[in-house]
A and B are shown apart, each in its own frame.
Chain A
């Protein structure tokens, strides 16, 4: 059984087929990229995996377990974290609070204990903070700890969102267009981080990306989609030279 498996997943909105019987498998420790023109169904696949959408048919498996019927919040607990295309942070909270929310799926304290802030809660809070500090170190976010998200520049927010996902200590991370809106330097940083996430933290990466140079630099395998259907699957070079992919992008 493969590490993560998407089995003939289909998503329909009324008459529109957003994702049409897409299947693929991801190996542990891989960086797997989905590319495709706008409206190809890339983000829909992410939303299906994080259970924001219910598939019309098909199944999802993670570590051999069927996750198709789980609630969205249970997905995080299994070790799947994600970022969003247009950044979904908690805008009116500090960066630290945002990252600590990332630790939520590891919370074990009870409500009544928290109301009294018992020593056990304090100890747990310190442990969470320790983990968060490691991620802050990893992504160089030290200057922003107490800053409110709404006031941070776009590039920083993008990194904070990545940091929040990492704080949940995921096994699989879904990155939805990690480089969109970033300048060249920030994109280069991002590509280093994505590789470090795999090699240093041992996290499997599934991402959607438009920037082909970033895709080429980091991906092990690439899946090309168009109109919700799989065009081809292979190494970055293979996919880029595939006639169907060229046709989809150039409209030939």
Chain B
């Protein structure tokens, strides 16, 4: 399987399918190590199956998104995130 290791910023499109907030500048706190930072500054693993955002400090899976091939159904796993801090941009 072709999995690409990218920056969290590369998940902007898939996260914008789900969230209406700009997610790459949202701040996360990692459940595992407690590190905080912007989603865009974390690591991303992108493949046909789905997208995983991993903590840049400890590699814990923060956000997992999978999407059914024919669309319409998403799975969103946020177990690795203690919280997300979202900013409303004008």
A and B physically associate:
no
